[in-house]
Structure 1
Amino acid sequence: MSRPRKAEDPTRWPVPCARCGQHHQTVARWPDGGICGYCYQQAKRTRGACACGHEGVLPGIDEGRPSCRRCSGIQVNVDCRTCGAEEELHSGGRCWSCVLGLTVDDLLADPARGTISPVLLPLAAALKTMKRANSGLTWIRQKHVTAFLRNLAATPEITHESFDELPDSPTRDYVRGLLTEHGVLPRRDELRIRYDNWAAQAPERLSDPRNRDLIRRYIRWHHQRRMNHMDEISRGTFLRAKQEVTVAIDLLNWLTRHDTSMSELTQTHLDLWQAEGPTTRRIAERFLKWAIKTKAAPSGLAIIPHRRGTSPRLPKSAQDEALRSVVNAEGIDNRDRAAAILILVFGQQAENIARLTWDNVSVTEELVTIQLGTIEIALPEPLDQPWRELAANPRHSLTASHPDSNWVFRGAAPGRHIHPGHLTQRLKRLFSTRAARLGTLHELTKLAPVAIIAEALGYSPTTIERHATDSATAYAQYIAATKAFNDRH
């Protein structure tokens, strides 16, 4: 990556650079004039095909076009002493890729044997063949990464279990992801493991030890039992399960402070507990139903459920303005544009957007289509443009994290899609994703039958029916208000 330019200094460097015209220190004199350090570095990184047919580094400029060293007469050392390729050199006459390769060989070599263990060869190959070697070298030379890889090289057996025993850290998780993505470790459901580990510690937060067995049974027979029937745990399931257990623990600790057990629970207790705290206490409804079903709590108790339809919706005018901004404004990443279109036009959830693969998207010269439900939906111009650019230049394609990834929205973690929360946070500066999604569904139910919308967008008919009911209610209220106004006037 290019260094940020300092402010030019005409007093100290009165002669401007022949290429950029700014006043910086001259580091080379080429046929076209004195060249500053910034343009010198940029010239060494310019690659392509010269008019003479040579392909490689093109440091010169001939009639406005980049040209090779021979055609331009520029003498600059870009020949790697190790691989012989024309590349920007890092140190010792070696290019970035060769220096990265030597660094990887040094760090992953077993200190006892002096060679890399066969099990780590796929990881070593992936790191050494990164398209952006400078990024790999910057990452690998961080002290904590260097130490981790040296310890990994000396580890007798590399398994998920041996990784679990290491201190929790982003480096551990990232290297585990690399090992999984490149076939060293088998794939496993990391969210399931994270929940199991979290759930094992959660009961310790109960102030009364007698309630710990109750929470353990609730976790085991309500949440983990349900998760065992899933092929993979979604982020939503993971977060809901943690929140429901957390709120249940809050209820039990509140009862303990009031010298009451679950078997002595009354509706008065529930009403008081709910009134004293945040609206999230309504989430304890599922725990209460489970406790009643298992005879841990008296029957007939109830928690006031969350009232649907109370979340704010982005008005149609604001949605239109947000879409115009997404399509026309400059400085918005193509990935953000593509995701924003799915929310503003099709009411998609961030979690579903994050899980899209290129199997769901078709990009041809004539048409871009996306399959959200069971129907392929064509994107008209200019809504198709961000998707075309995203297909041509997928993110995270220059590191070892995504060698053959099929995710449309690739994440920073190896082999994984973007975190939905991170995607939502990126779009937050443009609009509220939840309000926009609800506003879109509210408007769509005015335009087409429930069954068609549900099938096209991948929603359940019940969800779309609820939005249709809200939409019809709002429309009826509008008609009634209009009639009353006309009657008065």
Structure 2
Amino acid sequence: MARPKAPEDADAYEACGRCGEHRPVAARWPDGLICQNCYRKAIRTSGTCAVCGHVGILPGTADDGPTCRTCSGVRINVDCVRCGAEDELYSQGRCWSCALSNYVDTALSAPNGGVPAQLEPLADALKRMQRANSGLTWIRQDHVQATLRMIATNGTITHEAIDELPKSRTRDFVRGLLIEHGVLPRRDHYLAAFSEWLTQIPNRVADDEHRRLVDRWIRWNFLRKFRAMDEVPRNAFLRAKQSITVGVDFLNWLTEHHVTFVDTTQGDVDRWLTSGPSTRQFIDRLIPWAQSARLINRDLIVPRHRRGTAPRMSASDQASATERLVHTDELSPRDRAIGILVLVFGQQLRKSLELRWSDITVNEDTVCVRLGSIDLELPPPLDAPWRELLTEPVNLRTASHPSSDWVFTGQSPGRPINPGHIATHLRDVFSARAARLGALHELSKLGPVPIVAEALGYSPETIEAHRVDSGSTYAQYVGAVRRQRL
């Protein structure tokens, strides 16, 4: 069998006239043979010609910069037969944007033809995407087209109608697009997700009496509180899910051991806690509630989760991690900016990701971030990632974020990036939790509790707890200031 030709095989291919690599040849242009990589790069280069000022595709090269087809003598077809624009062609002489437009019209067409008026804002947003190739990659998938067709043929579009569609990430993503472009009203994302998650709970409870107990517990201890909030935080949503899951497991365990909840003893609780993982302590939300509601006959004790036992990064490790963070090429400007908030200012990932550009001030001399009620100035080189983010924001070239004020936009329409995703990116440099606790340990020593709390956006009680843990006192702070003045 003949040996396949490797891209870098000097005996198989002549050198590219631009990059010098021995790769498969795509074209012969005035400056020599052009490999496939350089060809794709050339036809995707657009802007203003460095020679004549023509605006369009710039496949040629010159000392002053990229040049157009006329000035470079490069002969390629990049004229879309549908819109006439100069662009990389996708198929049948059409550019990526025109091909995307055709897919959008097909997927969102109603049975009687044409895009329903209610869906026109979504259709327009998809067609105007700057990254049309990303839109095509997404919309060509069978499950995406199926979801869009179901929505387009479903008549009036409401959240309730979307809820009736098969549950999937695509359904939730499309819902986000509909909200972001004004087709559907905004609603509390985590409250809706929690309500949907609750529909599976009754089937997971083995005993009818316990099922009624769980229903009452959820309504009074979770839903009532969540509905009173302006917006349910992600952490509260996750804690509620874990508490209910553990509570249901405990009740099912009682059923298996032929114990009714009303007759549960301390021995039953202790056996449950010691025969499984530490997460079983999350029954500390079910049992106290049941006792306050007089649904249990005895006073039962469930040990609280111990706080302050998580690993904490030392000051020297923080300094090393900060040095690596600001000078590394391993992380994007977005990840480095978030890392600075955690590592230097002790911010929670969730809170960091909820920053908006209205919280950031960038000018020629300074970059300031508002974490609490005070603008904190970031000295060089901590300011560099923020300046880069301002000039090259992330995820703003698709239909998910047409005019978002989020600093750290995510893949989901209208929402910031997921904290777990960022924690994974930062893991090679530091643990986000250990870094945050280490930073708060040190920051709590810098001044009076109210001032530190106000600057960082924490409650005074939280900063006080870290200050006590660090062995710092306000008297020590005052003494240090006096010594500096002497």
Q: What is the TM-score when the length of structure 2 is the normalising length?
A: 0.93
> Within 5 Å, which residues of 2 pair with 1:166-205?
166-205=165-204
Matched residue SS, 1:65 = coil
Deviates more, 1:156-165 or 1:381-390: 156-165
Counterpart of 1:443?
442
Is 1:63 matched up with 2:63? yes
Following superposition of structure 1 onto structure 2, how do residues 62-461 of structure 1 map, counting pairs within 5 Å? 62-63=62-63, 65-112=65-112, 114-461=113-460
1:122 & 1:77 partners in 2: Cα distance? 32
CA-CA distance at 1:90 after TM superposition: 1.5
Q: Quote how far apart the aligned CAs of 1:386 are.
A: 0.4
Equivalent position of 1:20 in the other structure: 19
1:445, CA displacement in angstroms? Answer: 1.4
SS in 2 for 1:126: helix
1:472 corresponds to: 471
- Which stretches of structure 1, 4 residues or longer, exceed 6 Å deviation after superposition? none
Report the more deviating stretch, 299-308 or 134-143: 299-308
**2:333 counterpart letter in structure 1:** N
> Could you tell which deviates more after superposition, 31-40 or 411-420?
31-40
Q: CA deviation at 1:120?
A: 0.9
Q: Report the CA distance shift for 1:152/1:300 in structure 2 as closer, same or farther (over 3 A).
A: closer
State how far apart, in whole Å, the 2-side matches of 1:158 and 1:285 are: 42
CA distance in 1, matches of 2:177, 2:235: 24
Instruction: Quote the Cα distance in structure 2 between the aligned partners of 1:146 and 1:259.
Output: 51
| CA–CA distance in structure 2, aligned partners of residues 284 and 421 of structure 1 | 25
Once the two structures are superposed, what CA deviation does each residue of 1:29-57 show, in whole Å capped at 9, x if it has no partner?
22212222222222111112222221221
- TM-score scaled by structure 1? 0.92
CA shift in 2, pair 1:197/1:103, >3 Å: closer
Shift of 1:26: 3.0
CA offsets, 1:157-193, max 9 Å, x none? 2111111111111111111111111011111112112
CA distance in 2, matches of 1:199, 1:227: 13
Q: Is the 8 A contact 2:8 2:23 kept in 1?
A: yes
- 1:7 deviation in Å? 2.5
> CA–CA distance in 2 between the matches of 1:159 and 1:210?
36
For residues 173 and 418 of structure 1, the distance between their equivalents in structure 2, rounded to whole angstroms, comes to 15
Counterpart of 2:10?
Answer: 10
The residue type paired with residue 258 of structure 1 is: H
The answer (yes or no) to whether the contact 2:109–2:115 under 8 Å persists in 1 is yes
CA 1:82 to 1:6, structure 2 compared with 1: closer, same or farther past 3 Å? farther
Displacement of 1:236 in angstroms is 0.6
- Most deviating of 374-383 and 269-278: 269-278
> 1:29/1:257 Cα in 2 relative to 1: closer, same or farther (>3 Å)?
closer
Cα distance, 1:265–1:394 mapped onto 2, change above 3 Å: same
Q: CA deviation at 1:473?
A: 7.8
Relative to structure 1, the CA distance from residue 30 to residue 351 in structure 2 (aligned partners, 3 Å threshold; closer, same or farther) is: same
CA distance in 2, matches of 1:300, 1:67: 82
CA 1:24–1:312: 2 relative to 1, 3 Å = closer
Q: Evaluate the alpha carbon distance shift between residue 150 and residue 262 of structure 1 in structure 2; reply closer, same or farther with a 3 A threshold.
A: closer
User: How much has 1:429 moved relative to structure 2?
Assistant: 2.2
SS in 1 for 2:471: helix
- The residue type paired with residue 95 of structure 1 is C
Q: Deviations over 1:231-265 (max 9, x none)?
A: 11111110111111122222222222332222222
Take 1:170 and 1:125, find their aligned partners in 2: how far apart are those partners? 22
SS in 1 for 2:285: helix
Paired with 1:310 and 1:369, the residues of 2 have a C-alpha distance of 33
Structure 2's unaligned 5+ residue stretches are: 474-486
User: Quick one: distance in 2 between partners of 1:414 and 1:403?
Assistant: 9
Q: Percent identity?
A: 52
Return closer, same or farther for 1:36/1:470 CA change in 2, 3 Å cut-off: same
CA contact (8 A) 2:445 2:472 kept: no
**Cα shift readout 1:348-375 (whole Å, capped 9, x = no counterpart):** 0011011111111111111111111111
Gaps of at least 5 residues in structure 1 are: 475-489
- Deviations along 1:423-443, one digit per CA (max 9) or x if unpaired, are 222222221111111111111
Bigger CA drift: 293-302 or 330-339?
Answer: 293-302
Distance 1:292 1:240 in 2: 21
- Structure 1 window deviating more from structure 2 (305-314 vs 29-38): it is 29-38
Which letter does structure 1 place at the counterpart of 2:10? P
Partner AA of 1:55 in structure 2: V
Task: Provide the C-alpha distance between the structure 2 equivalents of 1:237 and 1:461, rounded to a whole number of angstroms.
Answer: 21
Tell whether the 8 Å contact from 2:444 to 2:472 is kept in structure 1 after alignment: no
